[in-house]
Chain A
């Protein structure tokens, strides 16, 4: 490619050397082409953009507006911070957060650790991996109402399968969903069974990317299985582990369906009322959209922190 110097290209009027009028013509043509190209490109975008505008972007803006409005006798007025002060003074608010944090902690303990252990074990198997993967992922595909109502049946203190299993092992029968102490744990067990397949398969894929030489090197240093896990497996999957941890925190803090179906949302003495269930109650039981939106905002601010870390981590993984 010949590269004329700047002064040279300024001296020669145009690349084609044509008179000025044609030059503006071709410039206009160029411009029209770009307009047409942009129009057609935006034509492809318009359907999605309209859907996003109506059902995603507009509701996002509305969420912020609603949080500072109140609706009395059909009239909507500005409420200032009163929705927020109302929810902070609602004892259910603090209970819902305690329950949600308990759910998140238990769900991480089970739903974060168990899939990793399963993945590490499955990855060692030379046989039957396909079958075992299929099994782990099977519950993910069930409609939630089927798995949840099935678990509700298992949890029944009278004729449920779980008390029968405890009995076989000589353990005392539990009230499961009907006891304030075990209600949330029961919800977590069901939720983990339903959802852990995805995490397990993602960990398995990550484990398969670990170079085998690292294990060989660790063995030369005399490392046993646990030390190999600690010094090779975990560091090598650190990024995916932290991404999944964040994703699970974000997902479990929004838990709704499982407690709603298992314990009608609140549970014994409100022991399974989660934040999202409280949003649901404010909005659809008490018609108090302002407080629902205010509580949503609190949840949003908290989870936005986790989302931001997630985005940063996943960006750094692409570099």
Chain B
């Protein structure tokens, strides 16, 4: 190796390469001036392309909501609104009754979260640590539901909601139609159980020796150490309801009970394009906020649990 290549390499190691694992392209290759040029060109192109492809549509959405009714359907389209019309957002909020839709969606999402946290955490705790008889069979039956394509079950589930057996109740247009089925999330139970399995037995035995009941152990020992997985499961639960379309469309036909997705869809053809786009922007804000606030948890949860199941 000549001194020529040695110097830039040392410099690079001192700046960016500290403790970075080796990947496809060798560090030596990137260290050469030609390698670095190529690297920066590719990098700049990718950043530009990604920004255009992923932020571009969002930019178009936000500015589309600011254009006039004529400008938004003008050909060729304009990159910048010629005049700003923030009142479109106000109109979208009023005409499509977004406050109502937003409230409904939040109500369903956080209700579903509460039910999932209570029932699924309790079930996973029982299956992992209390290990009742038939526990394995119950877990097997729960995991089996992951093998059944969700869309296949929509029809019989819908018929069940129309007339729940034994209790003989019609849950149509009721939030229970969202909340109770959301508990049957075998994937969340699986994630929770796998996390609880990793909690050392001795910790629970110590609590038991101190006379703690199963409930007390769950509250004071298991839940505090399970915060990361509870965060992941909670985000999945809320986002799941927020993004769902077919199920709320079927079970909540009453316009005053609808979710954002369904409500905007059913009103879409009746409003001018610019107002519709403003409504889409407003509907996107809450999940984008959740994402920006919790992106670390979301991404780690995705890669931790994304594959197993």
Hey, which bits of chain A sit against chain B, CB under 8 A?
A: 37-38, 40-42, 44-45, 47-49, 51-52, 54-60, 62-63, 66, 120-128, 131-139, 141-147, 149-151, 153-154, 156, 158-161, 164, 167, 193, 198, 201-202, 204-205, 207-208, 210, 212-213, 215-216, 219, 225, 228-229, 232-233, 240, 243-244, 250, 253-254, 256-257, 260-261, 276, 279-280, 283-284, 289, 292-293, 296-297, 299-300, 303-304, 307-308, 311, 314, 317-318
Contact = CB atoms under 8 A, between A and B. Distances in A.
A124 B35 CA distance: 12
Contact of B119 (A51, A120, A261): A51
A212 B233 CA distance: 33
In order of increasing CB-CB distance, the 10 nearest A-B pairs are: A212-B22, A41-B132, A41-B130, A48-B123, A44-B126, A47-B119, A59-B156, A51-B183, A205-B303, A296-B152
A145 B295 contact: no
Contacts of B21: 208, 212
A259 B36 CA distance: 44
- For the side of the interface on B, what is the size category? 35 or more
Contact of B50 (A49, A62, A136, A276): A136
Interface of B is mostly: helix
A289 B155 contact: yes
Contact of B184 (A52, A122, A284): A52
Contacts of B64: 153
Interface of B: 16-17, 20-26, 39, 42-43, 46-47, 50-51, 53-55, 57-58, 60-61, 64, 72-77, 115, 118-120, 122-123, 125-127, 130-133, 135, 138, 141-142, 145-161, 164-165, 180-181, 183-184, 189, 213-214, 218, 239, 242-243, 245-246, 250, 260-262, 264-265, 268, 273, 276-277, 280-281, 283-284, 287-288, 290-291, 295, 298-299, 302-303, 306-309
Given A49-B123, A52-B183, A314-B309, 10 more contacts: A51-B119, A58-B165, A60-B153, A125-B46, A144-B243, A146-B264, A149-B276, A202-B307, A219-B26, A311-B147
A62 B118 CA distance: 27
Contacts of B51: 135
A276 B306 CA distance: 24
Contacts of B119: 47-48, 51
B156 A62 contact: yes
A45 B265 contact: no
B213 to A, nearest CB: 8
B79 to A, nearest CB: 10
B151 A120 contact: no
Contact of A144 (B148, B165, B245): B245
A194 B268 CA distance: 20
6 contacts: A45-B127, A123-B23, A124-B39, A229-B24, A279-B152, A284-B250
A38 B133 contact: yes
Contact of A202 (B115, B298, B303): B303
Nearest to A145: B261
A51 B180 contact: yes
A29 B83 CA distance: 82
Contacts of A161: 60, 77
B296 to A, nearest CB: 10
A272 B280 CA distance: 24
Given A37-B130, A143-B261, A296-B155, A137 B23 contact: no
A316 B287 CA distance: 36
B23 A212 contact: yes
Nearest to B213: A40
Contacts of A314: 307-309
B307 A150 contact: no
A139 B43 contact: no
A233 B115 CA distance: 42
Given A63-B153, A138-B291, A143-B260, A126 B25 contact: no
Contacts, number: 292
A143 B122 CA distance: 30
Contacts of A142: 284, 287-288
Contacts of B50: 132, 135-136
A284 B159 CA distance: 11
A17 to B, nearest CB: 26
B20 A126 contact: yes
B281 to A, nearest CB: 8
Contact of B183 (A48, A145, A304): A48
Nearest to A202: B306
A225 B24 CA distance: 7
A243 B257 CA distance: 38
B26 A215 contact: yes
* B58, B151, B157, B280 — most chain A CB neighbours (10 Å): B151
Contacts of B260: 143, 145
Given A41-B214, A164-B76, A284-B250, A154 B24 contact: no
A233 B24 contact: yes
Nearest to A167: B76
Contacts of B184: 48, 51-52, 55-56
A240 B246 CA distance: 30
A47 B120 CA distance: 8
B42 to A, nearest CB: 7
A124 to B, nearest CB: 5
Contact of B265 (A145, A204, A215, A307): A145
Contact of B122 (A45, A55, A299): A45
A48 to B, nearest CB: 4
B19 to A, nearest CB: 12
A209 B90 CA distance: 49
Nearest to A163: B75
Contacts of B60: 150, 154, 161
A71 to B, nearest CB: 10
